[in-house]
Amino acid sequence: MKEHRGNWGSNIGFILAAVGSAVGLGNIWGFPYKMGASGGGIFLLIYLILAALVGVTVLLGELSLGRKYQMGPVGAYRQLCRKFTFLGYFSVFSGFLIMSFYSVLGGIVLKYVVGFAGAIFNPQDADIMTMSSGDYFGTFVCAGPSMYVFFAIFMAASVIIVSGGVAGGIERFTKIAMPALAVLLIAVIVYVATLDGAADGYRFMFGIHTDAIRELGIWSITKTAAGQMFFSLSLAMGIMLTYGSYLPKETKLVKNSVIIATADTIVAVMAGMAVMPAVFAFGLEPGGGPGLLFVTLHSVFADGMGGEIGALMGFIFYGLVFIAAITSSISILEGSVTFVMDIRREKGMKMNRGRFTVIIGALVLLFAIPVAFDGLGSGVGGGAIMKTPAELFGIENVKVWCDCWLDFYDVITEGILMPLGAFGMCIVIGWIVGIDSIKTEIEATPGVKMNSAKWFDICFKVIAPAVLIIVLIAQITSFFG
């Protein structure tokens, strides 16, 4: 007899876990800046439309396929349409590679949590308060072994949670972590609102910046919003599909997809309200990516606020970022773990979750070595231990994708495999097997009639694939442009 895979303990537990996966670094260092720099309110409007049309559709597709076949992406695609099993492998591989840089970033976040915690009682003696933001970050990311230790701790924490199982580990953790994140985020938003000059931050986020719209054009704003939405909702890595495979039949799939997409978007906007007003209040330049999270915001707490209060707010802020990152990292890890367990279960072997979670965690430690040792692009030239891809391949005219190993992994996944994978899923559901393949699953929930089937049919057939092509082109041009 095959071993039982287990299920989520409750619907709210599942929602918190899925929102935990969606809410991550993307919400905090991507969304606020992209929104502000891409026309403000207009960006938000486009983002909302895309999330409603494409995000919910792809999410619904993943949850339905997962629940229908009760397996991760490889097993699900194999049963849905054997020729497309490769889409399942795409997503498992993407997830693994993403984990290999995401958890390195998680390690850096942990360093800042520990640093600010230590500074609360004696800010004047703490490096994190006295060093310049650029130096603190630069020194740490080039530090090699000590950076690797923080990353390994972050990874070990993820392994411990995931080895506890879906209900006993992930759900139990996210049920505490997500409410904690909400409380911390609100605390930061409220405190930041009291700062002089905060209003400029709200204006940056929410104002309609006609000059930016004119300069960038709606097309480019749409491309930015689409890429962001995609990563932010954890789509196309088989993660939502995997989470869906642990759902019981009573779960209403359409409703849950809408809730997850809505919650992720709300948190992204809230993150903006925590971050941007603080950046503007201290006269700093807003930016995106690691620079925003580790340099600009560090300066907000260490120099702008300063002293005990700066250390305390820094601790709270990086604490919430840590929660956001680890609830995402466990979801990616679960994708790989489910993949292995499904194979073993099919073969009638003992699934052995604990052992395989540790093994996969160890593989991530291995794959992440280049990411953790090239100083996030500083390279040997900049004092790091390992060469960047550009240095290694001797590419003079440095393009974004080979600047650092993180970008190199990112371009393979976020740049190519993920948009292609999601595009493939829409084509398979929309054109090859037909919407009925998921409609029957959605209606397997007692009392549910899928009145929106016609609408989703159009989304799967036309709207989502069109947007995904845009994302693919945009990613490729931005990475290789």
What Rg value do the Cα atoms of the chain yield, rounded? Answer: 22
Query: CB neighbours (10 Å) of residue 305?
Result: 21
The Cα–Cα gap between 268 and 218 comes to: 21
**Is there binding between residue 158 and ligand PHE (CB under 6 A)?**
no
Binding-site member from 8, 16, 20, 24 for ligand PHE (CB under 6 A): 24
**Is there binding between residue 29 and ligand PHE (CB under 6 A)?**
no
**Is there binding between residue 178 and ligand PHE (CB under 6 A)?**
no
The Cα–Cα gap between 284 and 280 comes to: 6
The Cα–Cα gap between 112 and 340 comes to: 34
Q: How many residues bind ligand PHE (CB under 6 A)?
A: 15
Shorter beta-carbon distance to ligand PHE: residue 64 or 103: 103
The Cα–Cα gap between 95 and 412 comes to: 11
CB of 356 to ligand PHE, least distance (A): 19
**Is there binding between residue 123 and ligand PHE (CB under 6 A)?**
no
Q: Which residue is nearest to ligand PHE (CB)?
A: 24
Q: Interacting stretch for ligand PHE, rule CB under 6 A, among 56-64, 121-129, 231-239, 368-376? A: 231-239
CB of 264 to ligand PHE, least distance (A): 7
**Is there binding between residue 332 and ligand PHE (CB under 6 A)?**
yes
CA-CA distances (angstroms) from residue 345 to 3, 73, 75, 77?
A: 6, 15, 11, 17
**Is there binding between residue 232 and ligand PHE (CB under 6 A)?**
yes
Under DSSP, the state recorded for 152 is H
**Is there binding between residue 98 and ligand PHE (CB under 6 A)?**
yes
Query: Can you name the residues that pair with 40 across neighbouring β-strands?
Result: 208
**Is there binding between residue 22 and ligand PHE (CB under 6 A)?**
yes
User: What six digits make up the tokens of 87?
Assistant: 């889409």
Shorter beta-carbon distance to ligand PHE: residue 242 or 388: 242
The Cα–Cα gap between 385 and 156 comes to: 23
Instruction: Quote the crossing angle between the two packed helices 56-69 and 73-80, to the nearest 10°.
Output: 80
The 395-414 contact track toward ligand PHE, x by CB under 6 A, reads --------------------
The Cα–Cα gap between 142 and 154 comes to: 18
**Is there binding between residue 239 and ligand PHE (CB under 6 A)?**
yes
CB of 231 to ligand PHE, least distance (A): 6
Q: Name the helix (H) or strand (E) containing 260.
A: helix 253-281
**Is there binding between residue 237 and ligand PHE (CB under 6 A)?**
yes
**Is there binding between residue 25 and ligand PHE (CB under 6 A)?**
yes
The Cα–Cα gap between 28 and 184 comes to: 13
Residues engaged in binding ligand PHE (CB under 6 A): 21-22, 24-27, 98, 231-232, 234, 237, 239, 328, 331-332
